[in-house]
Amino acid sequence: MISSNPSDEDTSEAVPDVAVPDPAPRPTRRSFTATYKARIVAEYEGAPHGEKSAVLRREGLYHSHIKEWASARDAGALSGLTDSRTSAKRPRKSAPPGEVARLRAENVRLTARLAQTSAALDIMGKAHVLLEMLSESTGTSSQPPRS
């Protein structure tokens, strides 16, 4: 191939493959401890009128955070100041052992009854087909003739 541009010549220099780090890593969700929340609410409420927004800017918070935390504190729910997503999970309630055994026994009994009923319906269906075949072979119809 003939090129008119001298910079198009093959220089045989290999360009190293360098992994470029992601310029904007995924942000992580912040979580706040109950003591931090109580301290910030007290500081916000104690600040003079013009300085309240400075507290929010310094901590990177919104007014809705303060309102939510203060209402939880006023409701007397100190546990309301903890984050429910990161709090310890409540133990899962389970049925008493006797209740589980009773339900299993009832399940077995009902399954057996269902199998029995299904078998009876199958037999009745086969008997119906047999009786229809017999009535057709004798030439009698299942419905009485009208006079």
- 25: in domain: no
DSSP at 80: G
User: Does the pTM exceed 0.75?
Assistant: no
71 and 41 in a common domain = yes
CB 86 within 8 A of CB 31: yes
Q: Has residue 8 been placed in a domain?
A: no
Task: List the one residue out of 34, 31, 43, 30 whose CA is nearest residue 81.
Answer: 34
Estimate to the nearest angstrom the gap between the alpha carbon of 130 and the chain centroid: 54
Please answer whether residues 44 and 52 qualify as being in contact, where contact means their C-beta atoms are separated by less than 8 angstroms: yes
Instruction: Give me the domain span that covers residue 107.
Output: 97-139
Q: Which of 84, 106, 122 is the last residue of a domain?
A: 84
Inside any domain, residue 130: yes
Task: Kindly give the confidence (pLDDT) of every residue in the chain, 147 residues in length, as a single tens digit, with 9 standing for 90 and above.
Answer: 555 555 555 555 666 666 666 677 788 888 888 889 989 999 999 998 888 899 999 989 999 999 988 888 888 765 555 555 555 555 667 778 788 889 999 999 999 999 999 999 999 999 999 999 998 888 765 565 565
